[in-house]
Amino acid sequence: MREFGRTGFQGALNWYRNTFDAAAVAELRAFNGHRIEVPACFIAGRSDWGTYQSPGALEAMTLACASFAGPYFIEEAGHWLPQEQPQRLDAVLGEFLARRPLNAQRLGQGRLPCWCGSAARWFA
């Protein structure tokens, strides 16, 4: 609760806001046809409905990423993976990051963006 009080729920809601914001959608179109060149992975709970809501999206993600790891599906978890299985999520992220040396200079400020509060220790 202390972390929620500090950061609020803004980040979690932005995906839903931007999905229906014509300006945000138009801005994202600039990336159509481009590949993601940094190492990327997909991690979800085995029971997460979001993984199945857009058939073909996960397969398209593997093609859009030059260095794609996964997908990783964590058992006994749904949409709220960081809250449901934080230790398992940390283990998968740790394994992913251990195999990919990070170049802080290339990243600019030496930090990576992270949507997952339980994994924040990997990105500090």
Sign of CA dihedral 63, 114, 12, 117: positive
pTM: 0.66
Tokens of 107: 């990243």
Task: Report which listed range, 11-15, 89-93, 116-120, is most confident.
Answer: 89-93
Q: How far is CA 121 from the centre of its chain?
A: 15
Distance of alpha carbon 100 from alpha carbon 98, whole angstroms: 6
Distance of alpha carbon 47 from alpha carbon 45, whole angstroms: 5
pLDDT digits (tens, 9 = 90+) for 55-86: 888 888 888 888 898 899 999 999 888 899 99
Distance of alpha carbon 87 from alpha carbon 63, whole angstroms: 29
Tokens of 54: 């857009």
Kindly list the domain boundaries of the chain, sorted by start residue: 37-122
Q: How far is CA 124 from the centre of its chain?
A: 16
